[in-house]
Structure 1
Amino acid sequence: MTIETLFHADAYAREAEAKVLSATAEGVWLDRSIFYAQSGGQPGDTGTLRWAGGEMAVANTVKGEAGAILLKPAEGATLPPEGAAVTMLLDWPRRHRLMRMHTAMHLLCSLIPGAGVTGGQIGLEKSRLDFDLPEPPTKEALTEGLRALVAANHPVSTSWVDEAELDANPGLVRTLSVKPPRGAGVVRLVRIGEGEAPVDLQPCGGTHVRATGEIGTVTVTKLENKGKQNRRVYLVVED
């Protein structure tokens, strides 16, 4: 069964209705989801499920078999009945912070063109990207570049393209350690900026803000040497 990924259609949806397909110790599987499942370095969403006579705290969201998005119940939580109509309530402040972080990481990629991304992790307090290059720009130069891109308030949009189009433009894929999900025939692209030369354009299934100005103050705090050609860059965004 295909799950309706509401977070792809609208990353700002904080509440929506759904139907419980199954509820086991493994997790709760709904027919649609505003909760993003942990993947690509972005943590899974948290929040609450409510139904007639009960509610369940969602401690994490992960991917299951056959395209399922599994909502992990908090320890000791009551599970909803199978077939029940539920209301999904997203922990919005947490998600929005992750969206700001994730979009800032795309901007960081744009400042180091041509270097493959060998790893990354999006966090609430700090995030990091690893680049395959001998020497990155200084943290001061990267911070200045990021803040200029944020101040320009570039629009952020998404589109879907055929896998064949992605194959014809392999340079769109920046990540060396994680490849875009394939098999559905289409791949989701995230574009920052407009025109023929956007600030950033690459496959990504995560959630992002609508414009770079929403990121707020961003700072590159640390650079680390993690190997002969591996440079780790840490960044933070302020509340």
Structure 2
Amino acid sequence: MQCRKVRGTYQYFINDKYVGKRKEWSKIKELARAEYRSKLRVLLEKELKYLKRILETEIQISALYYKLYEGKRILIEPDILPVSEKIKRFEQEEYQGLPFDENDKTEFYTNRGERVRSKSEKIIADELNRLGIPYRYEKPLKLIADGRIKEFYPDFTAMNISTGELKYVEHLGMLDSPVYFKNTLSKLDVYEKNDLLIGRDVILIHESSYRPLNTRVIANYINEFFM
């Protein structure tokens, strides 16, 4: 189909024969869509081949470390660590979490047997576990605050299973408490001053006395940031 602009009006031709818009408008639109999709398909096929080459290269890079004899692997730190190795090291890393107050009589345990501080945190932990997301509970994180290096304890440190990227999940459970809200803002301010941005590096899952935890929202966050 050809298209020309005559006196400010578009005219359409099929095989050099003029086609009236009133009678053949649906046919004209379909031919235009077909031309667009045909050209788009060519570009997408080229892009797909390019992406396949990138993926094959990434697979080869990841496999390179494991192709080495084990006795040699233990001697080196790979420049590019495969995601599977990142996950393994992340899950095996030992750390001292934030201790529980001896007067705290509440006991909530995840399906993995970890003690957490609330029923909502148990729900979040179990959902991460159900979807196969590597996570650690209250793993210490060193950040600069008030000009000094201090240890903070994000509720969850979790790893994206595709990229190996770490993100921090904070459960905000008492937003209708003015004191809690003020302390939360202070903590979020520290994150941002350390270039850990809310919604990119720090994921907030919130609730209050009038807005309970939504498990569907938790799953949506996990699918968006950790899959």
* TM, length-normalised to structure 2: 0.21
Q: Which has the higher strand share?
A: 1
Which structure has more relative contact order (CA 8 Å, sep 6+)? It is: 1
* TM, length-normalised to structure 1: 0.20
Q: Which has the higher helix share?
A: 2
Q: Which has the larger radius of gyration?
A: 2
